[in-house]
A and B are shown apart, each in its own frame.
Chain A
């Protein structure tokens, strides 16, 4: 059974870089059957798609975050990662990693809360 787990700092200073990792267990991140995604939910707001990466390394990003976001794979550790540059308070959110298709995710991590504050 595929399982995902997010990890990373819960507090990031404004203007710095938010870095999160999603560890995949029960399956290979190199599987052609899966796309791997990051989604966030700011407090009191709805879900927002951040971006998606395929096993080949091809990555796709939300137009609203493009230029600040990078998603990458680490096949040796069976992980994929999110980096979001130049963060502000508006990037405070619960961050989730998910997997399956580009169009939907049926496997999710439990989520991790990231607060942007000095």
Chain B
């Protein structure tokens, strides 16, 4: 059982916006602004898309954005494109030198 809860699937048509949630507790997401999001295509390594809740690494399109409210973080993909079809994982610092991941969300572009 994963420490952070994500919906198993999400979908949208090209051009639409899709938001994936990541629910933790007051011991992780709710307390620390160290939430990250990763994209993973089949057979590939994860790719960092968002760090520190809402910061984008260089090279990540601004279609990807992150936010947090209370114990829930969110990743929004705007202007959905075919190449956005992938698995998405959130992670959060959980205190005491511990890092936790979500169970992952499979994004389908219809």
Contacts and interface: CB of A to CB of B under 8 A. Distances in A.
Contacts of A108: 45-47
Contacts of A62: 98-99
Interface string A92-105: 00001010111111
Contacts of B44: 110
Given A96-B45, A108-B46, A108-B47, A46 B36 contact: no
Contact of B101 (A48, A100, A110): A48
Interface in B11-32: none
A70 interface: no
Given A47-B91, A104-B36, A111 B45 contact: yes
Interface residues of B, number: 24
Interface in A63-118: 63, 96, 98, 100-106, 108-111
B50 to A, nearest CB: 9
B64 interface: no
Contact of B48 (A46, A60, A105, A110): A105
Interface residues of A, number: 25
A110 B46 CA distance: 9
Given A62-B98, A104-B51, A104-B91, A46 B103 contact: yes
Nearest to A97: B45
A47 B38 contact: yes
A103 B104 contact: no
A46 B2 contact: yes
B61 interface: no
12 contacts: A46-B89, A46-B102, A46-B104, A49-B91, A60-B98, A62-B98, A62-B99, A102-B97, A104-B36, A104-B52, A105-B48, A109-B45
Interface of A: 37, 39, 41, 45-49, 52, 60, 62-63, 96, 98, 100-106, 108-111
Interface of B: 2, 34, 36, 38, 40, 44-48, 51-52, 57, 89, 91, 93, 97-104
List 10 tightest A-B contacts by C-beta distance, closest first: A108-B45, A104-B36, A60-B97, A103-B34, A46-B104, A46-B103, A104-B51, A49-B99, A106-B48, A47-B101
